[in-house]
Chains A and B, each alone.
Chain A
Amino acid sequence: MVEAKAGSLSFLTDNAITATIADSYAVFSERRKALKLTNPGTVDNIAREIQKDVLCTNFMFQGLRADFQKVFSLAPLFRIQHGFQMGPNVPSPYNLMALYGTPNVLLQAGLSNDGSAQCFANYRWSPKLISKSQAQISEGQALVQLDSEYTGDDFSASIKAMNPSILDGSLTGIFIGSYLQTITPRVSLGAEGVWQRQALNARPETAISYCGRYKGDDWIASAQYLAQGVLNISYWRQLTAQVEAGVDTQLQFAPGLGGNGGMLSSIRREGTTTIGAKYDFRASTFRAQVDSTGKVGCYLEKRVAPVVTMTFAGEIDQVKQTSKIGLAVSIEAAPEELMEASEKVEASNAQPPPY
């Protein structure tokens, strides 16, 4: 039966055209493999080394914070974290977080005492394809984000949907597709397209942004042009084994919002440049940065004991004469037999959960 079916459909696979296509595809992928290109990372992480590792803008917090993290098991990974926070702009003083992970599944949930919840669920279909879903739920409303990432040998592609819905009678929501390709061993180029329609009575909007990245021996330069008229240029360099430094510039050529009806003079030109450095010591990490709007910030993370980490964050705005200070303690508890097991897991090179 199966053979007969294969026979009747074989004209689809045995003709000259498909053979030529398959042949040229094989030759093409062979040549591509011979170039020995590496995966370029993702469009979101095009300037990760400087923006997410060296600069402390993302780590800044204000007030006091204490986290108690307990690891119960490593395979599967299971941990619970109790977080206590106080200070200005803190929406909820307590939140509970739980994480469960196996090599193919990652489930994470957070619940704050103001009643809002964050849910994450990631699944690895194959070593290259990961799907992620994320929901943020608070009183009577929910934000949903679905994301699929394909990490190829020399490219990365992803599709993202935010709050997709067909209930209004037509498709609404935000859809983002991005693609980043390694061109030569040092250069990679990519683009990102956004299609969005907030409601049925609004017109759909599209926007395309472009990005590029050049990787030197111990330095990386990247540029990203966003459709709203924002240009982001960054440079990162590894100075010694422990010291990294970088510059990040953001230029904005967006039309001003204050101008009434397309006045030429209302085009706003703004720019911010941030210079930062990161020092890694044996048991601590120090980050410092200065930017062109007059802000000086520093972030110090110190491992006081094997399970206790203290964090200090400070920022002074010289122009506005304001300052922010944050202090955090994080305690990570695990039973002793797990400590030994963790070394074994690290040694066996088990695949981590799909973060």
Chain B
Amino acid sequence: MPQLQLSEETKERITKILDISRITLHYGYLPLIIYLGYTRSDPKPTLIRLISPFA
């Protein structure tokens, strides 16, 4: 197997970027989908119907 040489500094930086993107994905992905659906739906739903499970 070819060994890939990464310096400690680069490794740390990549780990940090991955950490941040993981947190963004964790808490940002569902709101992103709801935002996309809310703005592009046809007909556009009312906000109260979007949030409440019973309305």
Whether A and B are associated in the same complex: the answer reads yes
A111 and B15 form a contact (CB under 8 A): no
Inter-chain CA distance A179–B6, complex, in Å, is 35
What are the residues of chain B within 8 A of A80 when measuring CB–CB?
34, 37, 50
What are the residues of chain B within 8 A of A132 when measuring CB–CB?
none
What are the residues of chain A within 8 A of B33 when measuring CB–CB?
98-100, 107-109
What are the residues of chain A within 8 A of B29 when measuring CB–CB?
109, 117, 119
List the B residue with the shortest CB-CB distance to A108.
B33
| Partner of B6 from A68, A78, A167, A204 at Cβ < 8 Å | A167
Interface residues as binary, B11-27 with A (CB distance below 8 Å gives 1, 0 otherwise)? 10011000000100111
Q: How far is the CB of B8 from chain A (nearest CB, A)?
A: 11
Question: Which B residues, 13 to 54, have Cβ-Cβ distances below 8 Å to chain A?
Answer: 14-15, 22, 25-27, 29-30, 32-34, 36-38, 40-43, 45, 49-50, 53-54
A82 and B53 form a contact (CB under 8 A): yes
A-B contact count (CB 8 A): 82
Known: A110-B30, A117-B30. A98 touches B37 (CB 8 A): yes
Chain B interface: which of A17-25, A69-77, A186-194, A269-277? A69-77
Inter-chain CA distance A169–B49, complex, in Å, is 50
B49 and A76 form a contact (CB under 8 A): no
B4 and A169 form a contact (CB under 8 A): yes
* In the assembled complex, A135 has its CB within 8 A of some CB on chain B: yes
Q: How far is the CB of A70 from chain B (nearest CB, A)?
A: 7
What are the residues of chain A within 8 A of B34 when measuring CB–CB?
80, 98
What are the residues of chain B within 8 A of A1 when measuring CB–CB?
none
A137 and B26 form a contact (CB under 8 A): yes
Q: Which secondary structure characterizes the binding site on chain B? A: helix
Inter-chain CA distance A117–B30, complex, in Å, is 9
List the B residue with the shortest CB-CB distance to A142.
B22
B42 and A73 form a contact (CB under 8 A): yes
Report, as a range, how many residues of chain A touch the other chain: 20 to 34
Question: Which A residues, 63 to 113, have Cβ-Cβ distances below 8 Å to chain B?
Answer: 68, 70, 72-73, 75-76, 78-80, 82, 96, 98-100, 107-111
What are the residues of chain A within 8 A of B42 when measuring CB–CB?
73, 75-76
What are the residues of chain B within 8 A of A167 when measuring CB–CB?
6, 11, 14-15
Inter-chain CA distance A204–B1, complex, in Å, is 10
B22 and A137 form a contact (CB under 8 A): yes
Q: How far is the CB of A102 from chain B (nearest CB, A)?
A: 9
Q: How far is the CB of B34 from chain A (nearest CB, A)?
A: 5
B4 and A170 form a contact (CB under 8 A): yes
A78 and B1 form a contact (CB under 8 A): no
Q: How far is the CB of B46 from chain A (nearest CB, A)?
A: 10
Q: How far is the CB of A228 from chain B (nearest CB, A)?
A: 24
List the A residue with the shortest CB-CB distance to B53.
A82
B26 and A166 form a contact (CB under 8 A): no
List the B residue with the shortest CB-CB distance to A110.
B30
Known: A68-B53, A76-B41. A107 touches B1 (CB 8 A): no
Residues of A within 8 A of B (CB): 68, 70, 72-73, 75-76, 78-80, 82, 96, 98-100, 107-111, 117, 119, 135, 137, 142, 166-167, 169-171, 204, 335, 337
List 17 A-B pairs, Cβ < 8 Å: A68-B54, A72-B41, A72-B49, A76-B37, A78-B37, A78-B38, A78-B41, A79-B37, A80-B37, A109-B29, A117-B25, A117-B27, A117-B29, A119-B29, A137-B25, A137-B26, A142-B25
Given known contacts A73-B40, A78-B41, A117-B26, what 20 new A-B pairs fall within 8 Å (CB)?
A72-B41, A73-B43, A73-B45, A76-B37, A78-B36, A78-B37, A78-B40, A79-B37, A80-B50, A98-B30, A98-B33, A98-B34, A99-B33, A100-B33, A110-B30, A117-B25, A137-B25, A137-B26, A166-B4, A169-B5
